[in-house]
Amino acid sequence: MRAVWLTAFGGPEVLVSGDAQEPVAGPGQVVVDVAYAGGTFVETQFRRAGVGSFKLRPPAIPGNGVVVSVGADVDPAIGQRFPLERAADAHAAIEARATVGKTLLEVR
């Protein structure tokens, strides 16, 4: 599967595509099937400087989607929509290079 990672803050050159394995939710984590990852003005500003209330830090795969699986010690959330900007407020970091079309989040 293919993914695009935000490897650092900066211009478009910090977006890197590559192959990745399907993520598996570990304890305290959920897997989000990313429905889309856009390139809006806000996202370009975040990519450049990490502005806003986002706690997401590179490397990461931005986007939003639906929870498709949960690990141990996580309240059932399968089927819930989960915008990444909300997810970023709920966790300190996204597992690096863990997804393609899905995002692995740590639930706190």
∠ CA 48-35-92 to the nearest 5 degrees? Answer: 50
The pLDDT score that the predictor gives to residue 81 is 60
Predicted local confidence at residue 90, as pLDDT: 41
pLDDT of residue 27: 87
What is the domain range of residue 39?
2-106
Q: Say what the pTM is.
A: 0.52
Number of domains in the chain: 1
Phi and psi at 35, nearest 5°, equal: -75, -40
In angstroms and rounded to an integer, the radius of gyration of the C-alpha atoms of the chain is 13
Q: Rounded to an integer, what distance in angstroms lies between the CA atom of residue 69 and that of residue 84?
A: 16
Q: Residue 70: pLDDT above 70?
A: yes
Measured distance CA(7)–CA(26) in Å, rounded: 23
The CATH number for 28's domain is 3.90.180.10
What pLDDT, on the 0 to 100 scale, is given for residue 84? 55
